[in-house]
Structure 1
Amino acid sequence: MKRYIAFLRGINVGGKNKIQMSCLKASFEEMGLTEVKTWLNSGNVIFSRDRNDEEDFSGRLEAMINERFNLDIPIFVISKEELEDILNNAPDWWGDDNKETYDNLIFIMPPTTPVEVCREIGKPKEEFEKIKSYRNAIFWSFNRKNYQKTNWWSKTASANISGKLTIRTANTVRKVIGM
């Protein structure tokens, strides 16, 4: 059995795309997945399965969400080992204990690449934010009190590329990796 994490994009945000975590968990279990756990109310699902076909499996999970909840939700699936590798390659400035900094990990839905994301969103404003890409993720940190001055804050939510991203905080990523 191999451990995986599914990050559902944009559920239970501002009263939109509502899915109860207990129903989501049951739906994953009905697909034959085991050791299913959810974290927070924002679409973090940890599960085990025998097969190793994340890209194809994302599509099947999306179809299940559409069928059961009538929602068109992109899902990023990653193995626990891949996520650990990404975290092991985090830059020194990402995910530390500095409370003035907000650290995010942006997951990029295949076949989109970090180069495409950076090309569309543009360069970070160095005085307010930092980015570094590794594999299918981008480490992104910004100053909490100046977040509105960053280049990436509004664009990750409103740019054409936004539907191909799902973002989690450093704390959330660390929590789900340990589940």
Structure 2
Amino acid sequence: MQYIALLRGINVGGQRMVKMSLLKAAFEAAGFNHVKTYINSGNVLFETPETKLAALVAVCDRLMTTTFGFSVRIAIVTAQALITAVAQAPNWWGTDPNSKHNLIVAIAPQTARSLSEQVGTSKPEYEQVAIFGQFIFWSAPIKTYGRTRWATVTESEAYQWLTIRNANTARKLARLAQSA
């Protein structure tokens, strides 16, 4: 089965630096097949017969600790879940060039719904939000971004339980998964 690991907080601001070639090699050494990485933000596509997401997260966390010397939170999604979510994305997501468009992914044991509740009711005058499975589609005009509920997520407890990819990255990961 094909999965995508979304590592939270690597290669950001010169912290927790991970070379993608080494990350790919670590996933292969852990027994995963058809491993691909995409850009430096910690996106790993891989295949394995294992179907328990918690077990996959544990293996990936161990490989991060043993290979790179630190642990990170990891969201693992099936490739099909991401492909389906991106195909079902709201019409407004990723279309306006004057807006930010993010895919927010819940990291277990949190869910997209629980994270959304923790962040609070969205402000429709400034942002658009839609939940699809463990994904949250979010868009906001750049000029009013700072007024949105999700712009302040970094100040909340919920922040440690999510990882964010922009619309371009999310779409590219879905395309890579489809072509595998």
Tell me how far 1:113 sits from its aligned partner.
Answer: 2.0
Matched, 1:3 2:2: yes
Matched, 1:71 2:60: no
Aligned to 1:33: 32
Q: Which amino acid is the alignment partner of residue 6 of structure 1?
A: A
Question: 2:109 pairs with 108, 111, 114, which one?
Answer: 111
Q: Residue 150 of structure 1: which of 136, 148, 152 is its match? A: 148
Residue type at the aligned position of 2:37: T
Structure 1 Cα separation of the partners of residues 128 and 114 of structure 2: 17
Matched with 2:126 is: 128
- Aligned pair partner of 1:168 in 165, 169, 172: 165
The residue type equivalent to 2:140 in the other structure is F
Q: Secondary structure at the match of 1:60?
A: helix
d(CA) in 1 for partners of 2:155, 2:29 = 34
* SS of match in other structure, 1:76: strand
Aligned length, in residue pairs: 176
SS of 1:178 mapped into structure 2: helix
State the partner residue of 1:101: 99
Query: Structure 1 length as normaliser, TM-score?
Result: 0.92
Residues in 2 aligned to 1:78 and 1:44: alpha-carbon distance in whole angstroms: 11
Runs (4+) off by over 4 Å: none
Percent identical residues: 35
Matches within 5 A, 1:50-69: 50-69=49-68
Q: Structure 1: state its 5+ residue gaps.
A: none
CA shift for structure 1 position 119: 2.1
Cα distance in 1 for residues equivalent to 2:136 and 2:126:
16
Match of residue 49 from structure 1: 48
Q: For residue 135 of structure 2, what is the amino acid of its counterpart?
A: A
- The gaps in structure 2 that reach 5 residues or longer are none
Quote how far apart the aligned CAs of 1:34 are.
1.6
- Choose 86-95 or 38-47, whichever is displaced more: 86-95
TM-score (normalizing by structure 2):
0.92
Q: Secondary structure at 1:102's aligned position in 2? A: strand
Alpha-carbon contact 2:50-2:56 (below 8 Å) kept = no
Q: State the distance in 2 between where 1:48 and 1:115 align.
A: 28
Q: Residues 72 and 158 (structure 1 numbering): CA distance in 2 closer, same or farther, change over 3 Å?
A: farther
State the AA in 2 paired with 1:146: T
Aligned to 2:80: 81
Distance, in Å, in 1 between the alignment partners of 2:49 and 2:112 is 29
How much does 1:81 deviate?
0.9
Q: Which whole-Å deviations, capped at 9, do the CAs of 1:93-119 have from their partners, x for residues lacking one?
A: 1122x2012111111012212232122
What is the distance in 1 between the residues matched to 2:35 and 2:17?
A: 19
Deviation at 1:54, TM superposition (A): 2.0
